[in-house]
Structure 1
């Protein structure tokens, strides 16, 4: 059965405090960005329990706000699948129509199919500070099978410009090896592993005997959080893995 992975998105916005390191642009917004909550819902005509519902923050009309909104919406649309040969949907409504159409087509060709498809989107702005905004997109979808899928995508923005930032905007050149060592050490601490223990096997639980940084990170008021989704580095049963590192631990490699 063709599986569709559809975003069920929850947004958490976490902004920097005075202790946050400087980032590449060096700019600062004049104040927190205003925002509201957008709600959207669609149901399949043949089965109203099959639905796509969204509730997520939309930032106010400003250069930064519009840039952040565009990135958020593009991320949602990108995750919602449609026909493989079709170009990306231009709007959320178009993406939702494709999702519903895929369900209707599958149900029409599988008369015995009894499951409903459900995608729920919820959003919340936790903090919105002048310098930095972190958006966490949590997603879940069920389209049949043994279980649904949960995903989280973090995005960090310059609150003055709306530009999405990457690790290179916060860390000094050549940071990779040192950062990976810190992540490895924290993971071992979390799992009760010694420096010589393998990261695989029953205790470590990873696919490979290594854990590295990724770009799925969130800036928080006290440091940086790295998140690994199910199947990224470990089996589904392991759940999501998060690694939190404080600014004090990172000060040697931050800009």
Structure 2
């Protein structure tokens, strides 16, 4: 029987469930705790980071955060990154976080609402790392001096901005590294109304129930398994896994063609297969 999860993969999923928004964090900080064990620094785009001789963290300068102007439908946007790093008392870097997010350049209510959402998203996510096992474990390992693995990291990148069916969809991919041969990839998708920037769920967009969406996605995956695409690398019991799966909505994103559903690495295929995807077109979904 194939080995589904390595120790690193298991740890990665546990950490991902722990890092959730927990209130607004500080936009800028550079300090040495009283116990002298860690150093940290954080800067959000548009704010000047404080320079200190003691701070060994690398902070992205605001002017470096803004990238070229990109286009999605009638909208223009650029990408900014909120970064933070933690170092041990000897100055050795223990872990880093980089959160890339879009900043829309127009003045419509929807664009203003989306920008406000992602500014808060970045602040709250950085604040959540403060007490996470991800950071605490990385610092403990560095302080012990017993490990020489690269620093832990969690990097988010905006991969898809899609305008379709009256919504703006933003897919963000992340890569969580906790030592070992490789890290674990992850995804999250956000859907906003073009009218006012409010968040919309997939069932609301499709006017279908969760059960109906799960049934459609499940059928598409089972059909692909039957077609036997070698590049997918499905496990022998992938059909059983898909038949029992009920969380297709949380593993989906929007393209111009339709809704893309995917399985996580190790879920229905090996790590090397990555995200195995099927697409249901807007026409297939009745739109």
Q: TM-score, normalised by structure 2?
A: 0.58
Say if 2:103 is the partner of 1:58.
yes
Measure, in 1, the Cα distance between the counterparts of 2:218 and 2:84.
43
Name 1:182's counterpart in structure 2: 216
Measure, in 1, the Cα distance between the counterparts of 2:269 and 2:280.
23
Query: For residues 126 and 227 of structure 1, do their structure 2 counterparts lie closer, same or farther at Cα, with a shift above 3 Å needed?
Result: same
Measure, in 2, the Cα distance between the counterparts of 1:250 and 1:193.
21
Say if 2:276 is the partner of 1:241.
yes
The answer to whether the Cα contact below 8 Å between 1:137 and 1:153 also exists between their aligned partners in 2 is: yes
The answer to whether the Cα contact below 8 Å between 2:262 and 2:275 also exists between their aligned partners in 1 is: yes
What is the deviation of 1:96? 5.7
Higher helix share: 2
**Matching residue within 147, 155, 158 for 2:182:** 147
What is the deviation of 1:134? 0.8
Which runs of structure 2 are paired with 1:74-153 in the superposition (5 Å)?
A: 90-91=123-124, 93-95=126-128, 102=136, 103-108=138-143, 110-115=144-149, 116-123=151-158, 126-128=161-163, 131-145=166-180, 147-153=182-188
Measure, in 1, the Cα distance between the counterparts of 2:216 and 2:191.
21
Measure, in 1, the Cα distance between the counterparts of 2:237 and 2:71.
32
Secondary structure at the residue paired with 1:209? helix
Gaps of 5+ in 1: 8-12, 17-31, 78-89, 195-199
The answer to whether the Cα contact below 8 Å between 1:42 and 1:52 also exists between their aligned partners in 2 is: yes
Once the two structures are superposed, residues 89-132 of structure 1 have per-residue CA deviations (whole angstroms, 9 ceiling, x without a partner) of: x5455456556852324422x33022221222333564557932
Say if 2:36 is the partner of 1:36.
no
Measure, in 2, the Cα distance between the counterparts of 1:224 and 1:136.
12
What is the deviation of 1:222? 1.8
Measure, in 2, the Cα distance between the counterparts of 1:241 and 1:48.
34
Which runs of structure 2 are paired with 1:133-212 in the superposition (5 Å)?
A: 133-145=168-180, 147-172=182-207, 176-177=211-212, 179-192=213-226, 202=236, 204=238, 207=241, 209-212=243-246
Q: TM-score, normalised by structure 1?
A: 0.63
Where in structure 1 do 4 or more consecutive aligned residues deviate above 6 Å?
A: 13-16
Gaps of 5+ in 2: 1-6, 21-69, 229-233
| Greater Cα offset, 204-213 or 216-225 | 204-213
Structure with larger RCO (C-alpha < 8 A, sep 6+)? 1
